[in-house]
Amino acid sequence: MSEINVSVLEQSNLIEDLNKIKSMGLSEQDFEQINQHGVSLENIQKQLAIFKKGIAKVELLEAATVENGILKFSIVEFVEKANFFDENKSDLKLLKFVPASGAASRMFKFLTVFLNEFDLERESINAYINRKKDTKLPVFIVGMDKLPFFDIIYKKLKEEFFNFDSFPRDYKNYYFIKFMLDSEYFDFASKPKGILPFHKYVANIATPIEEHLYECGYYSSSNNKSHLHFTVSQSHQKHFEQIISNVKAKVEKETDTTIEVTYSYQHKSTDSIAVSMNNKPFRTEDGKLFFRPGGHGALIENLNQLDADIIFIKNIDNVILHNNDTIALYKKALAGILLELQQQIFACLNLIDLYTIEDNQIEEIKNFLKVKLNMEVKPDFELYTFENKIKVLKSILNRPIRVCGMVKNEGEPGGGPFWVKNGQKEISLQIVESSQVDLNNKKQVKIMENATHFNPVDLVCAIKNYKNEKFDLRQFVDENSGFIVEKNHLGKDIKSYELPGLWNGAMANWLTVFVEVPLITFNPVKTVNDLLKEAHQSL
């Protein structure tokens, strides 16, 4: 194509884009800002339409329970599955994927509120607790000397105040909290959870980063090699690198494992435009559009860039003091369950490709889909031609696979396993968040209340097909399962769109199996007080 033709084509595309901008009520300056941010006009159009139309809620059919969507194994069976994984992993590249970009602000939220609303000169801490009916603050104060970072903050306080030990108790407690969160001192609430002190050992204090390195050696290694991938914010990567530089050699020696660590960032192109409460594009004081991160669902892009046979996914804060034998057993067992299923799925797909499949084998595959993968073909399947039956079965089987650990519901907030029906009337197992459910519908709320299990973000995934080719994971996202969230920006209420969650809508069209795992595998640190629980305390 000549330069003149290219110029004409570019000009035509520019005119088309500017017309789109005008149709959205935006300006040429907005167009330039959108281009610089890397968000596509198509996504902006989709998001603005979503704000106006809303998002259809998920239709829950019933809660997934043991023997009705959730598999339950004995300890002997878990050991067998873990052994199967160990016996078959030598030719596999294993990788652990840890989302770790978020700041720890929620972890310290109740303490931030305390600092903002408490006046040391006007009331006692006990009066504040009674006034606010604050149940978290007294737990923190009573137990704070057991926190892994107590000594380093206490030491700093004594350096700043030579007579600190003679301070009244309320003054000591107040200044401890202030130093812990103040940007001039430890600034914990602004840092990512991964770099905070979580566990105190005899010889050192460990961060979640260090604990995840150890876990790599215990269950996510093959031929003494392991791969660990963190999604981080670009500004915090240097802190991760520094911690890993300090502890990696020690961990590798103790676990006899070489660990390769890589990083990625949440792509700005996945950010969403914010709108006012009347669905008009929200603007900052300087008149610019305001974008917010698209939520953890954006990380499907990061996952899609990785190359591994088996990927373990676990949140940054779900670690415990070194009890790796127990954790490793259940993680390896989930991987063993996945490998067994994958071998059976690949056998079916290879049989289909050989064109040697017979009618009775079609029935066997249908039964396998129902019994092992909780999936059924459409009712009119029997009316299809033989060739179309083959195509349908192949399209169902040839997908990424995930095996998800589920723990018994102990009242933790968050998603759980349910049977759902989508817009095409297809029934499947999904992890559903409360924000996806119509809470004004009593029947739907009742189904939610009947949930027996909780999603701890304990996933083992296979992202390659039976020809050893990587799937394009973006092709298996349910685009209709995002969230509209209400936020506050500098005192103004706004709405933002969050992408289908990484383990929710972003994996909605994967082959999915749920397995009950013990509560010991789920020990997140959602608030700082969780560090006082047994799983995070040395004896």
DSSP string of 213-277, one letter each residue: HHHHHHHSEETTEEEEEEE--GGGHHHHHHHHHHHHHHHHHHHT-EEEEEEE---GGG-EE-B-T
CA dihedral angle for residue 132, residue 133, residue 139, residue 140, rounded to 10 degrees: -10
Q: How far apart are CA 436 and CA 416, in angstroms?
A: 11
Q: How far apart are CA 200 and CA 33, in angstroms?
A: 47
Instruction: Give the distance, in angstroms, between the CA of residue 121 and the centroid of all CA atoms in the same chain.
Output: 43
> Contact, 523 vs 537, CB < 8 A?
no
Per the listing, tokens 């996933």 go with 459
Q: What is the pLDDT of residue 3?
A: 44
The average pLDDT across 236-254 equals 96
CA distances from 383 to 13, 218, 368, 379, 389 (A): 46, 50, 20, 9, 9
154-158, 433-437, 441-445: the lowest-pLDDT one: 433-437
Q: Read off the pLDDT of residues 361-405 as tens digits, 9 standing for 90 and up.
A: 899 999 999 999 999 888 888 889 888 999 999 999 999 999 999
Q: How many residues does the chain have?
A: 539
- What pairing do the DSSP bridges indicate for beta strands 511-516 and 401-408? parallel
Q: What is the pLDDT of residue 8?
A: 47
The residue among 50 and 71 whose pLDDT is bigger is 71
Instruction: Give the distance, in angstroms, between the CA of residue 348 and the centroid of all CA atoms in the same chain.
Output: 31
Task: Tell me the CA end-to-end span of the chain in Å, nearest whole number.
Answer: 73
Look at residue 223 and tell me whether its pLDDT is greater than 70: yes
> Contact, 244 vs 20, CB < 8 A?
no
CATH fold label, 29-102+223-539: Spore Coat Polysaccharide Biosynthesis Protein SpsA; Chain A (3.90.550)
Residue 221 pLDDT level (bands cut at 50, 70, 90): very high
Q: Read off the pLDDT of residues 255-268 as tens digits, 9 standing for 90 and up.
A: 999 999 999 998 88
Q: What is the pLDDT of residue 527?
A: 96
Q: Read off the pLDDT of residues 110-135 as tens digits, 9 standing for 90 and up.
A: 999 999 999 999 999 999 999 999 99
- What pairing do the DSSP bridges indicate for beta strands 511-516 and 69-71? parallel
The average pLDDT across 479-498 equals 86
pTM attached to this predicted model: 0.92
The average pLDDT across 96-107 equals 92
Look at residue 328 and tell me whether its pLDDT is greater than 70: yes
CATH 3.90.550 domain locations along the chain? 29-102+223-539
Q: Read off the pLDDT of residues 176-199 as tens digits, 9 standing for 90 and up.
A: 999 999 999 999 999 999 999 999
Please give the DSSP secondary-structure letter assigned to residue 56: P
Name, of 208-212, 273-277, 410-414, the range with top average pLDDT.
208-212
